Structure 1
Amino acid sequence: MKINETGRINPINPYQRTAEAQRQEQVKKGTRKDEVSISDEAIKLLQAQNSGKVDTDRASKIESLKQQVSAGTYQVDAAKLADTLAPYFKQTSGN
């Protein structure tokens, strides 16, 4: 029976060395904590929502649309829809 590399004593896995090095770096740097940043726009929206301030024009328009849809009287303006969708189809057909 032949035994190769008898001079090696307790070989260390390279992955284990890498993991240990990363742990030591974290200890040196200290423990990193997650951070959350909220944009100014999100803060304004949150404040408006919490203050109970509701855009009455928008709310009345939404309620009107809900009533029209449930009654079956809502009509889609085909020209307006086509104008809105046309840039999308122009962009995708060019690729």
Structure 2
Amino acid sequence: MRINETSYGLYSYQKQQNRVNHIQTNSSKKTSSSANVEISSQGREISQAMMSDQAQRQQRVQELKQQIAAGTYQIDSGKVADKMIDFWKGTSR
């Protein structure tokens, strides 16, 4: 068996390693710069309203879980039927 080029695999590995090192160097330069983000007062109000809604929703979910566990949760079959009909008619809200 005759092997002509013994350094072929080494050079391709070295080129790949150089690419990886170059990418890592460039990405570290980009992350070293700082960025400032400012949120408007309206954005803060929206965020607070969303968190408030989330807290209310979480409280309602806990209430429902307790009712289901206690066996006191009542289902209004008329509302369920109305929602199903609205869904199938394509007028669901």
Shorter chain as normaliser: what TM range? 0.3 to 0.5
| Bigger relative contact order (CA 8 A; separation at least 6) | 2
Larger helix proportion of the pair: 2
